Structure 1
């Protein structure tokens, strides 16, 4: 098992090569949840995530023979970019195996950092197996999380948090394979044992929960999740004992909660993060909202690499979940002025029409009627209800879809 001195040595090794990311206070989240909330913005790190820390620490320690033959890694995207960038700094060839579903933007970014991308497998476990096959040909395998030098590199985040906020009482950390959570938990607990470390995982891939329940890492089914960066089906053999010793609690969050958290951080704090980076905020706003988390809380925003098309869908889904986007179908007479009267009524009700579509050809419609599909921007659940009541009072036949 690694020690605090290993993490401190990694911090010295990485000095000047990585960004010392900011720890910022959130007035909005603090006011909403009654605790002083700070955000560790590792989404601002070079390559867009914390993964560079571990990759660079590992590659800096490689023997000369490995530097000649090159390295190979497996990753859903962030570790891929970290390895590619770190290898390019060292002048080492890098091959990265990514699952078939890996984000397009992460694939392109990895190639942009000089890495050779191979797409293989339906989950990270299959991608890892392929990478280990390639390692048998002479390449040096860089594990995404289950490696002492990787864990030590990720743990440098904990040293930065403790230096910037020694009064920290609780920290919420994403958990995938466990490298980040293990390194940060070990660093923080070694310096301040009273700090509470709460891991957060996507409910669709609860590998850490399964490991805690069985007492050993066990595989769980792979499921597509918005938090693709922590979509790991089995906790690491080396990360597990560290988490067993230092993790105080583990909570799970749903896909809708993750989407809401991405939107919350983007709208309230102007912070762009990926699904995995948003899971601490998702936990704070839902499963932990009534928990006593102390007076000073840190959310570790682990990464910001999200596909723009996916971000658009996430924002739409978040608006629907928060009832700030209302979709309705209204039946009205197919006659001059009918649509104008409807839109005027919606304007008077304070609804902003984002999209409108006419359907005159529905076989279930009387010939004298038309169906109008509307997407409306609203102020929230109460406003949605007021809009429905306004339409009903005016005699419109409405099929609500929220």
Structure 2
């Protein structure tokens, strides 16, 4: 039986979604705008020959209705479309759960107040349960900015840096050596237990190293503590049917380790791609390899680094032939995203956008999947591919992408 590979290009939106006005995100377009900015600054067109050949550019032009400079390409080897999100938020868990067939149709809790962000009652309980009587931060902040601002004080005082954003999240930054990695994880586990009544989606441990604000840098030992999806996902259905789900990157954390058979952590896009290829060389039939390429989001989208984003995209594009070469004859590769994060947009939060829905196998030519009304179409397609029971949400496009399979 075939294997499936899902590569999530974290934050790679391709045009503002139909309901983007509710989020103040009209006319965000992560791909088009970074391509425009790259051309303005570098005087050269972004070159994505492999992604473009799969239909990425055409999907973006259809979704965003906005032209942008792009190097010449040949559209000849992929199924391509664009998908809107029906989940209530534009956060990471909602996007991933929906693509696995379970949209989030309830409202998350948020810490809306910019500063101080956390209720005093919650903080008092955290102090009591953790034994650490205080925090730094207590505000909405960019993760890299707040580490530079408060990292040295954190090292001196031993107090964790706690902050949030427009997402349903409680983030904790701490130095791996001075505070301790296991101590950070334990702190986050305790906080996770205290946030259920607030309906907060994730607690994120954000470890960093370095000695001064000039050289503090976050490490790959991030850990997300998520609540469980509200119902079984296609991952659960595959593992229950005897299949294997392999998590690469933060996928396991996003699904609270439910429906996951194996997990591999890696730091950086190249390392995540290497890990994916490694699993392609060893995974058996009836396997799903599910990879999140978080660096597009955390290193470039949130930091509003359009040039870095464009360069990372081009570097990733050059790795795709290695992935194709590692695929078996009947494997299917899917590329998508969980939300947008337009690096030319105001602020530093996610943007409500369509995401690409691309697919490839060795015998595919070019198939237009058109507009997909929910990310859950991917989960339904995976379910049909593995002969699993149908999911409640989504419409499969499996037959359409296999029409010209020889």
TM-score surpassing 0.5? Answer: no
Report which structure shows greater RCO (CA 8 Å, sep ≥6): 2
Greater percentage in helix: 1
Which bracket does the TM-score occupy, shorter chain normalised? under 0.3
The structure number with the bigger radius of gyration is 1
**TM-score of the two chains, using structure 1 as the length reference:** 0.27
